[in-house]
Amino acid sequence: MTLLPNSLQARDVAYHFHPYTNARRHERVGPMIIERGEGIHVYDDQGRAYIEAMAGLWSVGVGFAEPRLVEAAARQMSRLPYYHTFTHKANEPAILLAEKLVQMSPDGLDHVFFTNSGSEANDTVVKLVWYYNNGRGRPEKKKFIARQGGYHGITIAAASLTGLPTNQRGFDLPLPFVRHVTCPHHYRNALPGETEEAFADRLAAELEAAILEEGPETVAAFIGEPLMGAGGVLPPPRTYWEKVQAVCRRHDVLVVADEVINGFGRLGTLFACEHYGIRPDLMVVSKQITSSYQPLAAVLFSDAIYQGLADHTEALGNFGHGFTGSGHPVATAVALENLAIIEERGLVANAARSGARLQERLAPFADHPLVGEVRGVGLIAAVELVADKATKRKFDPPGRVAFHLFERAQEHGLIVRAIQDTIAFCPPMIITEDEVDVVVARFAQALEDTRVWVADHA
C-alpha cells in the first residue's frame, strides 16, 4: 500500500502505536480507517460497508449509532459531565446502575465496584481478594488458579491471569502468584476416546491436585470465563463447571466468573453463569454493559466478601484503591440506557434465536476439508482451521491461513477475527436471522477463496 503524504493513513503510521498490531507490518500496509457505523454495519473512509461480525471487540450489543445511547450521553454531559466517587462522593447514574446490576445478576452478588475496563476490573479482583484475606488474618492465601487459553486482560495482574502466550511474551509475565491448569477444550486436549464428562472429571482432578500441591491455605481463587472468548471461543465440556466449583468449595477457594465477553445476553441467557449453573463469589462484567459506547466495567461480589472488606477498611481507615473514572456519570448513564434497550427489545431472546441460526448454519462447515471443529453457544461461534482433519494438525506457521481468510472476508464485506487458526464470530445482538445468513454466505466465499489459496501454496 502506498501511503499518500499527509493522508490520515500516513499520519496514523507516523504517530499512532496500535495495540495487538505488528508495528513494522503496519508501516507497510497502513490502517483501515473506520468512519462510521450503523446497526450491524461499519463503513470505511472509502465508503465500503462491512458487516461487523465481531461487534467491534465482542462488545457492541445494541449495534452502532444507537440514538438513545447518544442522547443519554449528551443529557448526562450537559448535567454532570464528570465527578469522582472517592471519599463518600456519589452520582445518581452510578447509584442506579449498581442497584440494577445487583438486581439482574446471579443470586449472591450484592455489591459493585466500578472500573473503566475489564482488565482494570480483573486487576481489582486480585487486589480485593488479597485485601479480603489480609483482613481475615490469612496473609498467605493469595494465589490464583487460571486456565491456559483464558483471557482476563492485559494489565500486569490481569495479563498474569491470562493464559495466552501473545499477552505474556516480551513482558516478563506471568507473575508468580498465578498457576495455570489445562485449557478445557475437548477437541484439542481430550484423550483419545475420552467423553466430555470424563474430560471434565480429569480437569477437576487436575485442579484439586494443583490446590493440594500449592497448599489450600495459599490458594485464594479460581478464575475463568464461563465460555472462553479470546482463546478461540471454547465452550467447556459438559459437567465441567459443576465439578470445578465442587473442588473450589471443598478447599475454600473463591470462584471468579469473568463475564466480560459472555455477559448481558451473548449466550442467549442474561449471564453465562445461568447457562452453566455457576454461582460465583465474584463476577466481572464490561463490554456489552455500555455496548462499548463508553469505557466501563464492574466487579460484583458477595456480601460475605463485602463484610470482610468493610471490616478491613475500618481497621486501616481507608480502602486505598480506585480510579479517576470509577462510577463515571456519563458511562453509567449510558450503561443504564443500554441495559434498558436490551430488556425492552428482547435482545437476550434475539441472541438465543439468531444464535441458534448462526450455530445451525455454521455446523455444516465441519465437513469442509480445511475445518477441524465448529463450536459455540448463542451469538458467539468459531470455526477452527486445520492442515489435516484426521490428525488435527495445525498449519505451519499457526495463524497464517486464518489471517488470509480474515483478509478475504474483509474483501467480501465481513469483519471477523482470526485467533491463531480459528475464525471467531460475535455479531451485535440486534442481528436478525436473515442477516446471519448473509454473514455465513460471506464467510463461505472467504473460506472457498482460502481453500484455493492453500491448494496453490501447499
Residues 333 and 191 reside in one and the same domain: yes
Domain CATH for 255: 3.40.640.10
Is residue 108 within 8 Å of 144, Cβ to Cβ?
A: no
2 pLDDT more than 80 = no
pLDDT at 173: 96
Distance CA 304, CA 317 (A): 20
Is residue 419 within 8 Å of 402, Cβ to Cβ?
A: yes
Whether 88 is covered by a domain: the verdict is yes
Residue whose entry in the numeric block shows the C-alpha cell 495482574: 157
Confidence of residue 163 (pLDDT cuts 50, 70, 90): very high
pLDDT tens column, 115-124:
999 999 999 9
Whether 13 is covered by a domain: the verdict is no
68 pLDDT more than 70 = yes
Distance CA 131, CA 118 (A): 19
Whether 308 is covered by a domain: the verdict is yes
Q: Which three cell numbers stand for residue 321?
A: 484503591
Residues 230 and 323 reside in one and the same domain: yes
Q: What is the mean pLDDT of the chain?
A: 97
pLDDT tens column, 41-64:
999 999 999 999 999 999 999 999
Residues 197 and 236 reside in one and the same domain: yes
Burial of 416 (0-12, 13-18, 19+ CB in 10 A): buried
pLDDT tens column, 384-417:
999 999 999 999 999 999 999 999 999 999 999 9
Distance CA 348, CA 338 (A): 13
The verdict on pTM exceeding 0.85 is yes
Query: Region 99-122: what's the mean pLDDT?
Result: 98
Among 281, 312, 344, residue at a domain's last position: 344
pLDDT tens column, 333-344:
999 999 999 999
Radius of gyration in angstroms for the set of CA atoms belonging to the chain, rounded to a whole number: 22
Number of domains in the chain: 2
pLDDT tens column, 411-454:
999 999 999 999 999 999 999 999 999 999 999 999 999 999 99
pLDDT at 458: 63
Q: Which DSSP category does 219 fall into?
A: E
pLDDT tens column, 168-183:
999 999 999 999 999 9
Residues 317 and 380 reside in one and the same domain: no
For 55, 98, 201, 336, the CA distances from 68, given in Å and listed in that order, are 18, 20, 47, 11
Residues 413 and 325 reside in one and the same domain: no
Share of the chain above pLDDT 70, in %: 100
Domain CATH for 396: 3.90.1150.10
Whether 282 is covered by a domain: the verdict is yes
130 pLDDT more than 90 = yes
Distance CA 55, CA 298 (A): 20
1 pLDDT more than 90 = no
Is residue 368 within 8 Å of 385, Cβ to Cβ?
A: no
145 pLDDT more than 90 = yes
Tell me which residue range forms the domain holding 367.
32-62+346-457
- Inter-helix orientation angle 303-316/118-135, to 10°: 70
pLDDT tens column, 205-249:
999 999 999 999 999 999 999 999 999 999 999 999 999 999 999
Residues 159 and 110 reside in one and the same domain: yes
